[in-house]
A and B are shown apart, each in its own frame.
Chain A
């Protein structure tokens, strides 16, 4: 059974510092991996999707890497801003034969201090 872990559960950094968020998964047979952002009282917003054949994806200040063999993904947020404060979740998609579903990590709650 696929398990997804995000450590640490919470992180506090001063504004301007780069953020490094970690995601690990136990089964490398994934179809893709997604990073989401969740603001309090809101739903999840997709940030980046990395296909299993890709090593990284970039969008603005965000860069996500994927290493299937080691079961790890890292989300980098450059030059953090107070508006980046939120909970970040990663999720892996298993192939259709295994249920065509996402398994989520527990999330990392980020606070960027002005």
Chain B
């Protein structure tokens, strides 16, 4: 089954304790992206990757890191989490990019709810 898998689904941590949220897709998609969703602010892009070893900042990259060493994986790293990073996080992927040649839809994972105390 074609899917985007995020882990964990729920995570509670304390300020300053490094954490990684994993994201994997099995559709051989070139483009992957991380979003956070907050009440009243909607979905905002954190980072995206056009392909292996190619990453770029989205609208709210501060406090986050990403890496794209393999095509299928795109982990989100919070080196020193803070309470303002408490949010619902989504990973997504598509073939060719959201404005790419294939105009293919974006596939989302089920989300990771992060709480930083």
Contact = CB atoms under 8 A, between A and B. Distances in A.
Interface of A: 31-32, 34, 36, 41-46, 49, 51, 89, 91, 93-96, 99-102, 104-107
Nearest to A106: B42
A101 B48 contact: yes
B95 interface: no
Given A42-B110, A101-B48, A31 B99 contact: yes
Contacts of B98: 31-32, 93, 100-102
A44 B90 CA distance: 9
B99 A42 contact: no
A36 B106 CA distance: 9
Given A42-B110, A104-B42, 11 more contacts: A34-B106, A44-B43, A45-B108, A46-B105, A89-B43, A94-B99, A100-B97, A100-B98, A101-B98, A102-B106, A107-B42
A12 B80 CA distance: 42
B111 A43 contact: yes
Contacts of B33: 101-102
Interface of B: 4, 31, 33, 40, 42-45, 48, 50, 56, 58-59, 90, 92, 97-100, 103-111
B100 A46 contact: no
Contact of A93 (B50, B56, B58, B99): B99
A96 B40 CA distance: 27
A85 B40 CA distance: 20
Contacts of B92: 43-44
A96 B42 contact: no
Nearest 3 A/B pairs, CB to CB: A46-B105, A43-B108, A31-B99
Nearest to B106: A46
Given A43-B110, A104-B43, A107-B42, A49 B105 contact: yes
Q: Which residue of B33, B45, B98 has the most chain A CB atoms within 10 A of its CB atom? A: B98
A42 B110 CA distance: 5
5 contacts: A43-B92, A43-B108, A89-B43, A100-B99, A101-B98
